[in-house]
Amino acid sequence: MKDIIIEKYIDLYLTNAAEIKNVYVFAKHLNISEEEFYQYYPSLEAIESNLFAEWFIQVKNNLKSSELYPNYSSREKLLSFYFAWIEALKKHRSFVSQRWDKQSKHISIPKTPDFLKSLKEEFISFSNEIIREGIQSNEVNDRKFIGEKYADALWLNLLFITNFWVNDHSLNFEKTDEAIEKSVNLAFDLMGQTALDSMLNFGKFLFQNR
């Protein structure tokens, strides 16, 4: 039933958003009672929050079910997710674009729009998993204090990529593919061991052995 509710919500949002003015009216479009609606969602706003999180979970589970995924590096896992995320959103581009444009001016840090809060929770958990694996494989440098903000930085990256795709009018969204590769490579270059880290470590060594 949840899938039917989401499908009807997206359809009405795109064709006649005024008809989604309250749960009672929306339930009538579904031919169910208001009471039955509440068995699945506590509010209309919860539908949007849930659907973005559900799309994320589907993408993540599909990736993890692949035989190749466990052998990917942390960088490759994040790249694979972003490409798969955009592919999933393509099925609902009209809705995502319209919803994103409506809220884009309010998508900021530290405030997260209500319709993205569940997605953020899921993504932060996924990001921390990738970061932990990256630290174990030495792809990611576990910096004191800064390391705690890596997942938040990747969340910003997800917002950037989604927003870039919403506004991308290149053939087959080729520019978005390029943005994904460049942004993920930059993220891992920044999270990895850098020349500055080497200088600091060398300076620490000299200080300790003077």
| Domain ranges for the chain | 1-42, 48-193
pLDDT at position 21: 87
* Residue 67, C-beta contacts closer than 8 angstroms, at least 6 positions apart: none
Q: Distance between CA atoms of 148 and 140, rounded to whole angstroms?
A: 12
The count of residues in the chain is 210
CB count within 10 Å of CB 204 equals 10
Q: Can the peptide bond before residue 42 be classed as cis, meaning omega within 30 degrees of 0?
A: no
Domain 48-193 has CATH 1.10.3470: no
pLDDT at position 210: 56
pLDDT per residue as tens, the chain (210 positions) = 888 999 999 999 999 888 888 999 999 999 999 999 999 999 998 998 899 999 999 999 999 999 999 999 999 999 999 999 999 999 999 999 988 876 655 455 557 888 899 999 999 999 999 999 999 999 998 877 777 889 999 999 999 999 999 999 999 999 999 999 999 998 888 888 764 555 555 566 556 655
DSSP state of 171: G
